[in-house]
Amino acid sequence: MLTFNFAPFNYDPTKGNLLLNVGVTGLVGNYGANFAGSFAADTGATGIYSRATDFSAQIPTSIGLQTFFNVGAPVPEPATWAMLVIGFGLVGYGMRRRARFVSVAA
């Protein structure tokens, strides 16, 4: 038998992914009990968000818990910025050098 006490716990996303799938299948009918469960966590740009659905009137044939991460916007690496600056510099140098040599029709 698998039981849950729904005690709070601390999760650190830097230690790895929280692999958690909870499901109950094969339940039939109304047992006169309500199933409700959820937990909240940091929902910031690099946090984790988890949810469970509240099934209050009847117990459905399938219930579960879902966990996923919110990922922040990517930041370019310094090498990318350096290549961008060097590229613009080379284009500017080429345009300036080309402007010096003016061809004259004979």
pLDDT tens digits, one per residue of 1-23: 555 666 666 666 666 655 554 55
Average pLDDT over residues 55-81: 64
3 in any annotated domain:
no
59 in any annotated domain:
yes
6 in any annotated domain:
no
pLDDT tens digits, one per residue of 17-43: 555 545 555 555 544 444 444 444 444
Domain hosting residue 50, numbered range: 13-100
1 in any annotated domain:
no
| Residues in contact with 1: Cβ distance below 8 Å, sequence separation at least 6, in sequence order | none
4 in any annotated domain:
no
pLDDT tens digits, one per residue of 82-95: 999 999 999 999 98
The structure's pTM equals 0.31
Q: How many domains are contained in the chain? A: 1
38 in any annotated domain:
yes
